[in-house]
Amino acid sequence: MILIADSGSTKTDWRILDKGQVVGQVRTVGFNPYYQDTDTIAAELKSGVLPQVSGNITDIYYYGTGITNDEKATVVRSALQAVFTTAGLIEVNSDVLGAARAACGHSPGIACILGTGSNSCYFDGEKIDFQVPPLGFWLGDEGSGGHLGKLLLLAYLHKEMPADIRQLFEAQYGVTDRLQVLENAYHRPFPNRYFAAFGKFLHDNIRHQFCDNLVRGAFNAFFEKYILKYPMCHEAELNFVGSVAFYYEQILSKEALKLKLQIGKILMAPIDGLVTFHTTKLLS
């Protein structure tokens, strides 16, 4: 049996395959080795995934946020080894490779993630061939849910919101003070999740010019800081995965068109594409 996982900062989608067919699926919390250690991840696997597995897992393909080097990959791999002891093959890869394999398959293209965080790479059909490196939530993540939420809260705290939007914001979240935001930003785990949760407000009020401008500005920052630096950006298709790209598809596509960028696939989540990639690979 094969286990495939796509893990973002907020959630992890799992698929269990037997003889090339999906026989089980489950969703757990997201994992990030920058914030969680091996024991914490293993405990979640034991309670959330292991009960759904009825046979012996032989191969595991894991794609996740925070897999930036061998040290971080080892944190996750050790947790998987501790729980799925029958697995002879455990591959732990970055979420951006997962996005590329899901959206591009075995064809070349630029793969982008716009979810809780953001990332991108040029995929040559087999491997990541070029990348403008991401800098994470505090120094980057432009265009992501975390970035959108951060921009929204900054506008609120700096009193830059129009009065009508501020009134709607306070009706939904209450009066939000600086200390409350700072506590969640610097002293509680997963600040990116905290800020990304405010993204729903933007989506619900996207017809207001303020919200529309904020989202367009975030997407343009993503294009300018990352995508336009790819030498092949005007020849290769841009493929996206992630909830932000999916729900703002029209705005994203329009801003890309202004920059003469070609949009390919936009997927809500990469997991089904990863299942296709690995089952195709097994049959080839």
Gap between the Cα atoms of 7 and 278, Å rounded: 17
CATH topology of domain 2-100+271-283: Nucleotidyltransferase; domain 5 (3.30.420)
pLDDT (0 to 100) of residue 101: 95
pLDDT (0 to 100) of residue 234: 96
pLDDT (0 to 100) of residue 282: 63
Q: What is the DSSP letter of 52?
A: G
> Quick one: angle between helices 209-225 and 249-258, nearest 10?
50
Taking residues 49-78, what's their average pLDDT? 93
Taking residues 44-58, what's their average pLDDT? 92
Q: Residue 126: pLDDT above 60?
A: yes
The half-sphere exposure of 138 on its side-chain side, counting CA atoms within 13 A, is 4
Taking residues 259-273, what's their average pLDDT? 94
pLDDT (0 to 100) of residue 87: 95
Q: What radius of gyration do the chain's Cα atoms show?
A: 19
Helices (H) and strands (E) in the chain, counts: 13, 10
Condensed to tens digits (0 to 9), the pLDDT of residues 172-211 reads 999 988 898 899 889 887 888 889 999 899 999 999 999 9
CB 84 within 8 A of CB 2: no
Q: Residue 283: pLDDT above 90?
A: no
Condensed to tens digits (0 to 9), the pLDDT of residues 199-249 reads 899 999 999 999 999 999 999 999 999 999 999 999 999 999 999 999 999
pLDDT (0 to 100) of residue 110: 97
Condensed to tens digits (0 to 9), the pLDDT of residues 81-103 reads 999 999 999 999 999 999 999 99
pLDDT (0 to 100) of residue 284: 55
Range(s) within the chain of domains with CATH label 3.30.420.40: 2-100+271-283
CB 102 within 8 A of CB 242: no
The token pair at 233 is: 């950006």
What are the percentages of helix, strand and coil residues in the chain, rounded to 5?
Answer: 50, 20, 30
**Identity of the amino acid at 280:** T
Task: Please provide the average confidence, as pLDDT, over all residues in the chain.
Answer: 93
The architecture of the domain spanning 138-216 is: Orthogonal Bundle (1.10)
Residue 232's nearest CA partner among 254, 262, 252 is 262
CA–CA distance from 91 to each of 44, 58, 76, 107 (Å)?
19, 12, 10, 21
Q: What is the DSSP letter of 58?
A: -
pLDDT (0 to 100) of residue 24: 92
Range(s) within the chain of domains with CATH label 1.10.720.160: 138-216
